[in-house]
Structure 1
Amino acid sequence: MVTHNIRNSKDLAGYINYTNLNNMISESEMREFLEKAKGMNFNSVIVSPTYVPLAKEMLKDTNVKIGSVVGFPLGFENTETKIAEATSLVENGADEIDVVINLSYLKNENYDLLENEITQIKEAIGDKVLKVIIETKVLEDYQKANASKLAQKAGADFIKTSTGFVSPNHIYENVNDINIFLKHAPKIKIEISGGITDYKNANQIITAGADKIGSDYGYEIVKRYKDLRENTQVTPKPITLTKKD
């Protein structure tokens, strides 16, 4: 298991995929969101397909990657549709693709169909990052294990826990998911998403072994950490040495 150390706010931001998938957001609001992302060192921003070109343009002089979603948020589109969505996103500038799996395939134990879908999407996007969302809140532990093994076998880069549209997991549920993935698919990376709103929770998840966090509150998490750990100035009192008689 890899140990993750957070030394400063830049390190912390590097674990976070700053997310805004509001389907009613205006362009001016999205521009404000992306401006916030500019000032941090986030691994990526995750935006709807509509705003991928804008994100690519606004963040072109930063190291922040552009992520977007396929089959979102239900995952029941056919494989051909998902491949077309993913290919279009890459053409428009996306670096990371978050695809929601077909949960019916998983529930019905149609593992060949599920593996084949993930394999084809990965082949279609080449060296871009593929993250597979499995919605752990609605799954049994054995289904999480099977999904993670299939995702790893099919060549996905990440297993991701949630779309954010289902009630968020408790920290203990998140840690349980991480332990399952580490045991059954140790080569795949892990992203925990949904309900992570503060540094304490983010740090617990990173310490437990997650590689990335997806959060709408990425800016607030990093800013709060920065204010507490880096913007606090303490002036020590002068030391006076007196000679004892």
Structure 2
Amino acid sequence: MYNIKNSKELAKLINYTNLNNMATESEMKEFLEKAKELNFNSVVISPTYVTLAKEMLEDTDIKVGSVIGFPLGFEDAESKVAEAKVLLDKGVDEFEVVINLSYLKDEKYGLLENEIKQIKEAIGDKILKVIIETKALEDYQKANAAKVAENAGADYVKTATGFVSPNHIFENVNDITIIQKHAPKIKIEISGGIDNYKFANQILTAGSNIIGSDQGYEIVKAYKELRENTQVTPKPITLTKKD
């Protein structure tokens, strides 16, 4: 199993997510306070709340992530680039763009690569994640999507938007294996349906670099309760054999 030393380390392996399109400002503030409490690697939120997040997380090292072409990915490249530039101006640290599945299924890999390259050029040295929605793809399509993302200069492949049925652990392991084989230099973020520590640990053990979850707070709190807040009084032992 993945060797997680404490809850702080676990939180830094999770991108805490709230992409609820009906979240109110008060709900988002509550979400961001939870993120501050446990100091996640990043928060992933809609463009609507980026400014609020930058203000509330100003004194932390939590990165602010947001989305482009979300959740369907069928906007043209110019529109996605424009979205990226607006988010950049707002101070976003990590950008997540949904791949154009129509291009992928039609094997228009040049168009896909060009789109990702344009977005990467627009955001410079900021992190770019390409969401490929593995639940909707055949294995060969996942392989080609990962190769395109790597060739175009993306930093991560992310497996899901969270708006489709989550993968089973074995499907996630299969996705990780495919991505590692066909795009060995790119990092991997598994997302969707990760709602407990056991599942999170399995995903990390399988090779994911990081996890995306809207249950990040619950995962870390449960782990913290188990590992750090459970008081056990050890029984005295002797190192010599009794007669």
**One fold, TM greater than 0.5?**
yes
Structure 1 length as normaliser, TM-score? 0.95
Alignment correspondent of 1:116: 114
Q: Equivalent residues in 2 for 1:80-159 (5 A)?
A: 80-159=78-157
Which amino acid in the other structure matches residue 172 of structure 1? F
For 1:41 and 1:182, how far apart are their aligned partners in 2? 29
The structural deviation recorded for 1:93 is 1.3
1:190 aligns with 2:188: yes
Q: Equivalent residues in 2 for 1:1-245 (5 A)?
A: 5-237=3-235
The structural deviation recorded for 1:36 is 0.3
Fraction of identical pairs, as percent: 76
For 1:173 and 1:117, how far apart are their aligned partners in 2? 28
- CA 1:238–1:183: 2 relative to 1, 3 Å: closer
- CA 1:121–1:4: 2 relative to 1, 3 Å: farther
The structural deviation recorded for 1:6 is 1.0
The structural deviation recorded for 1:234 is 1.6
The structural deviation recorded for 1:236 is 3.1
For 2:234 and 2:164, how far apart are their aligned partners in 1? 49
Structure 2 length as normaliser, TM-score? 0.96
The structural deviation recorded for 1:5 is 3.0
Which amino acid in the other structure matches residue 62 of structure 2? V
For 1:75 and 1:85, how far apart are their aligned partners in 2? 12
Moved over 4 A (4+): 237-241
8 Å CA contact retained: 1:4, 1:209: no
Which amino acid in the other structure matches residue 231 of structure 1? N
8 Å CA contact retained: 2:2, 2:202: no
8 Å CA contact retained: 1:47, 1:68: yes
Which digits, 9 at most, give the CA deviation of each residue in 1:163-215, with x for residues without a partner?
00110000000000000011000100000000000000000000000011110
Q: How many residues align?
A: 241
**RMSD (Å) for aligned C-alpha atoms:** 1.6
